[in-house]
Structure 1
Amino acid sequence: MSSVRLPENGAPCYIARVSSEAAMPENRYDLRQEPDGTWTVFDIFTGMPALVNEVEQVGLELEQADDLVDLLNLLYIRRRSGSVH
């Protein structure tokens, strides 16, 4: 994970996730830090918080949000490729 620098104006902080592999354009979810220091998992196409069992994924700790982003993107890629049962 890349280092985090908080904006001084209190605006949400978006994380650029960098890996050794080429960026996967299939990803649908990412995370952002909110002004209160918590993290939100959001849909990059809508900008809205991701829903899991109809619950917005907001107010998370960084580790929770990061793990959830990885899981949701994996499920999204599998759904698009037709390999989720």
Structure 2
Amino acid sequence: MKSNNYYAEKDKYLFKIIDFLDENSTEAYFIDMNSKRLNNSIYEIVVKDVEYAIFHSMNGKILEKLKEKNIFINEIRISKINDYVNTNI
């Protein structure tokens, strides 16, 4: 599927970007989803000092890297763009 390729490409670059981030500039956490299947699976990464720098992923390698860098907060929050991520299309 073409859309899966876009997600894979996005995750590839997001994995590299995390090298330039730290717990002072960035936070990540699971987001509350309308879909029970996606709860505790999809997480949000927010770069605090860059407007609109909000990313989402379900990639396990990225999650581990966020945890190693103490960026990931182990809690569920409402997404900064909740109306978008929880849209019923």
The TM-score normalised by the length of structure 2 is 0.31
* Greater Cα radius of gyration, structure 1 or 2: 1
> Which has the larger share of strand?
2
> Which has the larger share of helix?
2
